[in-house]
Amino acid sequence: MKKDHNGNIELILYVDDEEKNLDSFRIVFRKEYNVKVANSASEGLEFMKENPVSLVITDQRMPNMTGVEFLEKISGLYPDVMRVILTGYSDEEAIISAINKGRVFKYVTKPWIKEELKQTIDYSLEAYRLRVENKELIHKLSKTNQELDEFVYRASHDLRAPIASVLGLINLAKEETDVEKLKEYLVLKELSVKKLDSLIHDIVQFSRNSHIRINLDELDVEKVVENSILKYKDFLWSEQVSKSVEIDADVPFSSDQLRLEIILDNLISNAIRYANLDQEDPQLKVTVKITLKEALVSVKDNGIGIVKEQMDKVFEMFYRATEDNTGSGFGLYIMREAVNKLNGKIELESNQNIGSKFTVTIPNHAS
């Protein structure tokens, strides 16, 4: 049976007021297509409210509501659904009306011939797939353009700010003779350069996640986690945060290493950056459980946490949940995009001044 681009079996609805015609269509095409029938236009409309129909084939001459009137209603309610009408040789007016009002894809004269109608059905379903795919592509393109505009504006602003800060400090240093003051300027310049480096790192991750294709390999998850933690051993106050890792991986795990690294890098760096140093024992705990179906990756901390009102916004581009300006506000957005690329999902639990827990579920492709 024909399937759409998501792998779902495409549904054909045949509408006719004569029972023998419904039986005939069902018997002829039931092995090749997912066929449903209705003996009136109103019954067809009720069926479409509850079922995702790809193609409607209807007879023209029906009581209460003609095929043209039926297709005209459908064109407004379900514009993506393909429409085919069956007419007699003498129904020239109905054909013209169907094209103008019902916006039919094809009309077929009665009595229909199996091979000709099958060809029409195949063409209609292919056109349906292309229509839906184009709609999705347009939506993605619109989303990408909107995000690109925001990205260029915010990234250029955040890139210029630390550069301007460094240039200002250099000018001050040129006139300064006090050694202690010069040391202070060096520390401030270092902070600005680190902020610049962090943003450039985020931009590179964003670009790689957007453009590099998915590459599935069997991964050593423990090694990937350890490498992500090592990247941030000299990061801010990393030494003050105790770190623990628990890996439960009795089965092989296959996924995209680049995206898994993006996910772990952003969650681990955030847990360190927003650690609560007033805690007696600031902690970062990474837990991974691998099953035949999926990997559950959890990163938990007892840091400053996120207030409830901001939890839905933290995955937006350049959104900062705190007044801390060391982060770009870009990391969790990139992380979410990487999870989406892997067809995964994210859950967030957080309480202010108690800590946060991010749980990412990723499909296991090892099988």
Q: What per-residue confidence (pLDDT) applies to 1?
A: 60
**Secondary-structure class of domain 214-367 per CATH:** alpha beta
| Cβ contacts of 146 within 8 Å, gap of 6 or more | none
* Adjacency order of strands within the sheet including 55-59: 34-38, 11-15, 55-59, 82-87, 106-109
**Is 3.40.50.2300 the CATH classification of the domain at 11-137?**
yes
pLDDT higher than 70, residue 3: no
The whole-model pTM stands at 0.58
Is 11-137's fold the same as 214-367's? no
Residue ranges of domains in the chain:
11-137, 214-367
- pLDDT tens, position by position, 191-214: 888 878 878 888 888 888 888 899
- In sequence order, the β-bridge partners of residue 301 are 284, 356
179-211 helix and 114-175 helix, angle to the nearest 10 degrees:
170
Q: What per-residue confidence (pLDDT) applies to 322?
A: 67
Cα dihedral sign for 341, 346, 350, 354? negative
Identify whether the C-beta of residue 305 lies closer than 8 Å to the C-beta of residue 355.
Answer: yes
- pLDDT tens, position by position, 243-286: 999 999 999 999 999 999 999 999 999 999 889 888 889 999 99
